[in-house]
């Protein structure tokens, strides 16, 4: 038994892979042998740079623009990937936004947008890839949640709700899909060094028992671990430098 997954001949879609955690996950999947679709919404140049880097590993890689909160864009993105790389075996629902809002400042628009990008996108992408995974009786879906699904976090109640919803989605799909050979798990990081945390003014590393932010590679390692384990489903793997003990 290989302890790390061999993803040779597998096709993976990583949403929001132009930078941050998604780019590191895309890199780890390509290193494990997968052909990879690097999704992005706005940062085309950064997505193309990630794709170019992964091609040097000898993989087939495409950068594909889609706002994954929009059903029609997800459908056409998945069609393009299937036409160019083949059916999708591995889906990592990573795209997300973190609009920092106090309760008094949170608008209905902020709430709806956060739920659409962070939660509805995972539903849309999962629904779009399921038919081909079910037909081939194999699939791996990993949803990038957050410590904010359980804790207060520093972003706001809308973000808490989107990530808690994502974990409910994870368990609901997991329960229904194991019999089709498809596992669905969540990875819940807290405070990883990316653009999302760099905009914060409150030096969040001070609140982490380990004394530092996590790295994108540490999150990618957890994603690969989950993908490599065919007996584990419906779980959330937390990685947070010990924050869940405080
Ligand atoms: P990031 O550096 O801000 O990157 C966000 C990524 O999501 C970008 O690739 C962005 O694409 C993409 N994206 C945003 N909206 C999108 C949309 N509507 N459609 C398609 N792609 C979209 O964020 P990150 O820190 O890597 O976070 C990645 C995931 O981890 C998010 O779900 C976040 O909630 C979660 N997370 C992060 C932390 C942390 O501490 N960083 C902790 C817990 C959970 P463009 O580049 O094209 O804009």
Catalytic residues: 159
Identify whether 244 is part of a domain. Answer: no
Q: How far apart are CA 242 and CA 22, in angstroms?
A: 23
Residues in the chain, total: 246
Record the tokens describing residue 77, joined without a space: 């993105």
Minimum mean pLDDT range among 53-57, 125-129, 161-165, 242-246: 242-246
CATH code of residue 210: 3.40.50.720
- Establish whether residue 196 lines the binding site of ligand 1, counting it when its CB lies within 6 angstroms of any ligand atom: yes
Pair 38, 8: CB distance under 8 Å? no
Identify whether 82 is part of a domain. Answer: yes
- Could you tell me which residues come within 8 angstroms of residue 172 by beta carbon, excluding any fewer than 6 positions away? none
Identify whether 179 is part of a domain. Answer: yes
Identify whether 96 is part of a domain. Answer: yes
Domain count, the chain: 1
Identify whether 246 is part of a domain. Answer: no
Identify whether 199 is part of a domain. Answer: yes
Domain of 75?
Answer: 11-239
Identify whether 245 is part of a domain. Answer: no
The pTM score is 0.98
- Nearest atom in ligand 1 to the alpha carbon of residue 43 is 47
Identify whether 4 is part of a domain. Answer: no
Per residue in 175-206, pLDDT tens?
999 999 999 999 999 999 999 998 766 788 88
For range 168-176, the mean pLDDT: 98
């Amino acid at each position: 038994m290989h302890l790390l997954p061999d993803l040779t001949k597998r096709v993976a879609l990583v949403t929001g892979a132009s930078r941050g955690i998604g780019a590191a996950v895309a890199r780890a999947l390509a290193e494990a042998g997968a052909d990879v679709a690097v999704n992005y919404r706005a940062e085309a140049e950064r997505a193309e740079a990630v794709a170019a880097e992964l091609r040097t590993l000898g993989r087939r890689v495409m950068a594909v623009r889609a706002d994954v909160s929009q059903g029609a864009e997800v459908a056409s993105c998945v069609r393009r990937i299937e036409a160019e790389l083949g059916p999708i075996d591995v889906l990592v629902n990573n795209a997300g936004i973190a609009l920092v809002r106090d309760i008094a400042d949170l608008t209905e628009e902020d709430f709806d947008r956060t739920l659409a990008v962070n939660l509805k996108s995972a539903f849309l992408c999962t629904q779009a890839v399921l038919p081909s995974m079910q037909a081939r009786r194999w699939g791996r879906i990993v949803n990038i949640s957050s410590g904010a699904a359980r804790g207060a976090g520093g972003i706001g109640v809308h973000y808490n709700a989107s990530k808690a919803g994502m974990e409910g989605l994870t368990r609901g799909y997991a329960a229904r899909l194991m019999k089709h050979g498809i596992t669905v798990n969540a990875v819940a990081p807290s405070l990883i060094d990316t653009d999302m945390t760099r905009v914060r003014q409150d030096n969040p590393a001070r609140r982490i028992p380990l004394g530092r932010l996590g790295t994108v590679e540490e999150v990618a390692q957890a994603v690969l671990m989950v993908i490599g384990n065919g007996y584990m489903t419906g779980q959330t793997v937390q990685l947070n430098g010990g924050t869940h003990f405080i």
